[in-house]
Amino acid sequence: MSTLSELQQQINQAEAKVNELREKLAQQKNDERVQAIASARELIKAHQLSAADLGLAGKKSATRKEPATGGKRSKVAPKYKDPSSGKTWAGRGKTPAWLADHLSAGRSKQDYLIR
């Protein structure tokens, strides 16, 4: 029967082998990637291909003036109003200081809704 220290030594050896194999596989993947890049570059050069030929060049649409993402949001009608100052807030973004002050004093957002 094996002792606890012998079993722990076997576990450590097995973990070392696992780590060694993982490193070897990672290196093989990296080598394959480097080879694939080199082959692709050779083909591109040999056939004088451009990024557009490969479908990699971004095309600008003549009809669309703003990108689908990253554009500014449209204006929204104010939803809350401070009766004393007349300041308004649409309910987007950070709560304005005037409303935060009223809320910390125990009031509700409902009290400032524009009807």
Show me where the domains of the chain are located.
Answer: 1-52, 80-112
Cα 115 from Cα 113, distance rounded (Å):
6
Contact by Cβ (8 Å): 111, 95: no
d(CA 81, CA 73): 21
Q: Quick one: tokens of 49?
A: 């291909």
Please check the confidence at residue 74 and state whether its pLDDT lies above 90.
Answer: no
- What architecture is the 80-112 domain classified under in CATH? Irregular (4.10)
Longest dimension (CA), the chain: 86
Q: Torsion-angle region of residue 86: left (phi > 0), alpha (psi -120 to 50) or beta?
A: left
pLDDT recorded at residue 69: 60
Q: Are 78 and 90 in contact (CB under 8 A)?
A: yes
Model's pTM, two decimal places? 0.38
Other CB atoms within 10 Å distance of the CB of residue 80: 20
What pLDDT does 6 receive? 92
The pLDDT of 9-22, averaged and rounded, is 96
